[in-house]
Amino acid sequence: MQVIVQDLATNYTRLGKGQPVLILHGWGDTSQSWSAFAKSLSARYEVIIPDLPGFGGTEAPHEAWNLMCYAQFVHDFLQKIGVKPYAVIGHSNGGAIAIRGVGQGIFQADKLVLLASAGVRTPRAISGLQVMAKVGKAVSSPLPKKLRTSLRRKLYEKSGSDLLVAEHLEATFKKIVRDDVRADAAYISTPTLLVYGDADTATPLKLGQELQNVIEGSRLEVVTGAGHFIHLDAAVDVQRLTEDFLG
């Protein structure tokens, strides 16, 4: 399905019947990786999954966006399709968008599920990314474009950065990874479930513990052996935890 939101052609999936559940995917991901999860959930709920701007079948923003821009986009998308979600499920950067949106009152939900959520930014991590960006630029600048891009990609992958996962959104990525959502999380009163894998190196368990500390009444579940794409690594466990929480 497709709709125009903020002058961007927006692709989304909508299936099932019942109370609406909105899924926000992570950086570099699309609605496609959620097809099995959504199919199972749609037995009890109406599941809505947009491709966020710049990913999948949705056009990229015309300028660099931050988390607030993405949260406002989600609000406008929901207004356009006429839905007030019963629950919002956010994975990785989608979790950071959900925290900003719910915490700031940009959009609402009765329940919030954060899967391997990003958004906790430490000065050390931000500094490390800045240093890696400068090193990559300095080392690769004399090289031909193809070799320059390849070298930069290797440097970022080694540092654990997703900067070049979507090269056309580089300026947006740099804004997002400097944006800490803990202050927003402190305003969340919505019942919240946090699910993290203990083998996740992109958004380690300690980030979930940080969010649990600031979201009053939130519950943290740890899935043994699961990595960052926890809905794929531990599909059965994540499905069960989510459906039990949604009730």
Write the pLDDT tens digit of every residue in 34-48. Answer: 999 999 999 999 999
Same domain, 144 and 198: no
Q: How far apart are CA 242 and CA 35, in angstroms?
A: 15
Q: pLDDT for 173-227, tens place per residue?
A: 999 999 999 999 999 999 999 999 999 999 999 999 999 999 999 999 999 999 9
Task: Answer whether residue 33 shows pLDDT above 70.
Answer: yes
Percentage of the chain modeled with pLDDT above 90: 81
- Position 155 scores a pLDDT of 39
Same domain, 131 and 9: no
Q: Confidence band (pLDDT; 50, 70, 90) for 158?
A: very low
Structural domain including 146 reads 123-173
Task: Answer whether residue 30 shows pLDDT above 80.
Answer: yes
Same domain, 48 and 114: yes
Which of 85-94, 120-129, 166-175 has the least mean pLDDT?
A: 120-129
Same domain, 117 and 132: no
- Position 134 scores a pLDDT of 45
Q: pLDDT for 2-28, tens place per residue?
A: 999 999 999 999 999 999 999 999 999
Instruction: State the Cα torsion 143-144-149-155 to the nearest 10°.
Output: -20
Same domain, 238 and 163: no
- Position 130 scores a pLDDT of 43
- Compute φ and ψ for 3, nearest 5 degrees: -150, 155
Task: Answer whether residue 124 shows pLDDT above 80.
Answer: no
Same domain, 37 and 100: yes
Same domain, 68 and 148: no
Same domain, 87 and 63: yes
Q: How far apart are CA 13 and CA 38, in angstroms?
A: 9
Same domain, 141 and 188: no
Same domain, 30 and 10: yes
Same domain, 212 and 222: yes
Burial 128-139 (b: 16+ CB within 10 A, else e): ebeebbeebeee
CATH code for position 184: 3.40.50.1820
Region of residue 15 (phi > 0: left; psi between -120 and 50: alpha; otherwise: beta): beta
Task: Answer whether residue 154 shows pLDDT above 80.
Answer: no
Same domain, 103 and 130: no
Task: Answer whether residue 156 shows pLDDT above 80.
Answer: no
Domain endpoint, select from 133, 149, 173? 173
Domain endpoint, select from 140, 173, 206? 173
- Position 203 scores a pLDDT of 95
Q: How far apart are CA 159 and CA 57, in angstroms?
A: 29
- Position 168 scores a pLDDT of 86
Task: Answer whether residue 138 shows pLDDT above 50.
Answer: no
Could you give the number of structural domains in the chain?
2
